[in-house]
Chain A
Amino acid sequence: MEAKKNITREQKPTNELERTVEKKVKGIILSYKEVYYLDYEVDENTGMIHREHKVAFYTKSQMNRNLKSLKSAYLISKGAAAPEEIIRFRKKHHIAASTLSVILGFSKNTISNIENDGVTSLVSGRLIKMSINNKDIMSHYIRVCDSIDTRKKEKFSKKLLELGM
């Protein structure tokens, strides 16, 4: 996939870069991916550009993506389900993201949004974690779900029994 481009102050295109960052938050070391681009350093005291070396800068969009990534890592450390964990569960049980969403009582796109953008709420993240790790809870939610038909309910319940969590 072609790297995203940013424009430097000198109007030159430059690649968006990605790196894994470790950050200590409230005593917990979190690891998350951040995106950035390089441009010449600016001295915040003088307002002068130092054209000797380049440092990391962040566009508004990159900032928001990095904040989401950090927030997700933080919520996962507090007990929310990680996106990879949800994907693993869905693949194992052959269940669509939209189906899992409605079984757990979310709107159709919630699980897919979490898988793509990370966890945004500790409450929903913990609910998902508890549900995908507990056969009884998941079986109950499947049984009482109004949004999927009986055939699908049976299929998914059978998979749960066969494969476990």
Chain B
Amino acid sequence: MLRQKKRILEGEAKTFTKKASLELENLMIDYDINANAIEDAILKLTPKNYYRGVDPSGGADFNVCAFRVFVGADRIEIYLKYGLEIRGLQVLVFSNHIPDYTMDQPFKN
């Protein structure tokens, strides 16, 4: 619990990989978007955004899931993939880009 509090106090709950950083930079050139919009989207996720979980076993260091969400002032649809650290409180964003194809959500409804 102390670890979690420390991380929250340090303001490091949401972090981005290099790939996610490059994708967000590309989005920012054309749309009104920044990292706050991604954080906001993560905070507002519901089961209807769910796209897929990569490893549901819980045996990994991060539980990785993907979602279909609309973000930023322009409400652009993105594929958002992040991992939640099992022993810690880091949310690590792996991917946040406009999907290359229509995202079927098999678990919707």
Q: Which residues of A contact B (CB under 8 A)?
A: 6-7, 9, 11, 23, 25-26, 42, 44-49, 55-61, 63-64, 66-67, 70-71, 74
The total number of A-B Cβ pairs within 8 Å is 98
Q: Which residues of B contact A (CB under 8 A)?
A: 3, 6-7, 10-19, 21, 24-25, 28-29, 34-36, 39, 54-55, 60-64, 81, 83, 85, 88, 90, 92, 94-95
A47 touches B61 (CB 8 A): yes
CA distance A58 to B18 in the complex (A): 8
Main secondary structure of the interface of A (DSSP, over half): mixed
- For the complex of A and B, the 4 pairs showing the least CB-CB separation, nearest first, are A47-B60, A63-B35, A47-B62, A44-B94
The listed residue (A9, A49, A60, A67) touching B14 by CB distance below 8 A is A60
Min CB–CB distance A39 → chain B (angstroms): 8
Min CB–CB distance A43 → chain B (angstroms): 8
A48 touches B61 (CB 8 A): yes
A70 contact set on B, CB distance < 8 A:
25, 28-29
The listed residue (B12, B28, B60) touching A71 by CB distance below 8 A is B28
